[in-house]
Amino acid sequence: MKIKSIECAALASWPALEEETRAGWLLRFAKGYTKRANSVNAGATAQPLTEADIAAIEARFEARGLPPIFRLVSDPVFASTDELLIARGYRFFDLSLVMTASLDAAAPSPALRFMHDAAAWLDLFQAVSGKPVAGQDVHLEILRSIQHPCAYAVSHEGDIPVCCGLAVVVDGRVGLFDIATRATHRGRGLARELCRGLLDWARTQGASEAYLQVVGANTAAVRLYESLGYRYAYHYWYRVAKSLAG
């Protein structure tokens, strides 16, 4: 099933620092940095969860001082799991789209630079994205845990880094992550050119299909990816305990 194969590639591309399993679901832990790396995700053999499963999973997260968060994909087989979480007071959070595209022969922008040092790239990403320093040490741990071919890209104007992103290839699929443009340089097509460059690199690594994950409410990003040939494949959302979701 295509959803399962994309999910497996995505989970491998953005690894958690620790994992456990329950009923085929992956319990991912990364010191609380990002919901993606600190949530319960359906693995390739996942079965619908029972009340007992959910209670046991909650205990494993609470033992680590982390809130239990479930990430659910739009596969009807997991509808009963979603209903159980709703009954336990979990709230809907962060609807996101998974979009896919076939790769073309687009050439990278002349301004695009590839880096080999994750720490140096992350410093530029932080400057470009404006993300707070808190959590970036764990971000670096995640980047250094990637076990598949990856490319760290940055585009500059003069000496100023203005756009950056990351691509990871797993089993012929390339995922794009951490795409960011400096606030003062948005609306100029810089992210589009950077993505084209990353996709061109992925072709050299044997990738034939691309995917990405984008928050559904981010219409500007969705339009950008549609301009690159991406189309909706499926969606996912998080369930967070009511007390945590506000």
Q: Which domains, ranges and CATH numbers included, belong to the chain?
A: 2-97+235-245 (no CATH), 104-207 (3.40.630.30)
Q: What is the pLDDT of residue 163?
A: 96
Residues of the chain scoring pLDDT < 70: 1, 105-111, 242-246
Query: What is the predicted pLDDT for the residue at 1?
Result: 54
- pLDDT (0 to 100) of residue 246: 44
pTM across the whole model: 0.92
Give pLDDT tens digits for 30-76: 999 999 999 999 999 999 999 999 999 999 999 999 999 999 999 99
| Burial degree of 158 (CB within 10 A; 0-12, 13-18, 19+) | exposed
Rounded distance between C-alpha atoms, residue 15 and residue 30, angstroms: 9
Average per-residue pLDDT in the chain?
93
Would you state the pLDDT for residue 110?
Answer: 58
